Amino acid sequence: MQHIIVASSILAADFSRLTEEIRRVEQAGADWIHCDIMDGHFVDNISFGPEIVGIVRKETKLPLDVHLMIQRPDHYASRFVKAGANSITVHVEREADHDVEKTLRLIRDAGCRPGLSLNPATPFESVEPFLDKIDILLVMTVHPGFGGQSFRPEMMEKVKRAAEWNKSRQRKIDIEVDGGINAETARLSIQNGANVLVAGTSIFRAKDYREAIRELRGSG
């Protein structure tokens, strides 16, 4: 049985008690801490930067899964490496305004796992040329910018395509889904081949974080 990775997105955490929230979600069984970085240009929202990632780094040994929803991720990636990121995922869309292959190489050369993400409106074909250069494919199941949106089931086609790619190759990329992930949509995502679940609202709005994480894994 494949181990399902739960990456808790701190965008939905209570930032007035961030270090406590990190400890709580780690004790509740989260595998990764997903850090949603938004610049107000690539997405219509602004979240936090490398300083906050540095604070999170000091608080936990869990892998920090940094999701750059920003323009020019090539220019900023090194600051997140320095802050302690374990993986850095960038967007493939033209609006992210960078040389995708160059940025992925820069991330890997810096000792981080490179990831690539595509928005709901972006066809799977856009990421195909890069699949053998990444460790993580992040399939957005909502349009990025805000937590708490509804899951887009038609994105499962992309998850399936990524799982087929994995089957046809020796190396395996992590297939991560992000946005509107709860017990029900997690099950659907896993069924279609996802092995990493980003969850913000469904964990941090729950009374019992451990129960919420168990439900995501399907052992709820």
- Regarding 90 and contact with ligand DX5 (CB under 6 A), the answer is no
**156, 186 in Cβ contact below 8 A?**
no
From the CB of 199, what's the least distance to ligand DX5, in Å? 5
36 carries an active-site annotation: yes
The site that binds Zn ion (CB under 5 A) totals a number of residues, namely 3
Site string for Zn ion, 150-189 (x = CB under 5 A): ----------------------------x-----------
3-state secondary structure of 187: helix
In the complex with ligand DX5, the residue whose CB is nearer, 135 or 178, is: 178
In sequence order, the 6+-apart residues with CB closer than 8 A to the CB of 8 are 25, 30, 32, 33, 34, 198, 199, 200, 203, 204, 213
Footprint (CB under 6 A) of ligand DX5, residues 140-199: 142, 144-149, 178-181, 198-199
Q: Mapped to the 3 state alphabet, what secondary structure does 126-160 carry?
A: HCHHHHHHCCEEEEECCCCCCCCCCCCHHHHHHHH
Residue 180 interacts with which of Zn ion, ligand DX5, none, CB < 5 to 8 Å by class: ligand DX5
The entry of ligand DX5, Zn ion, none near residue 179 (CB within 5 to 8 angstroms by kind) is: ligand DX5
Task: Mark whether 132 is an active-site residue.
Answer: no
Cα angle 199, 202, 205; round to 5: 125
- State both tokens at 164: 């087929």
Binding site for Zn ion (CB under 5 A): 36, 67, 178
Catalytic annotation, residues: 36, 178
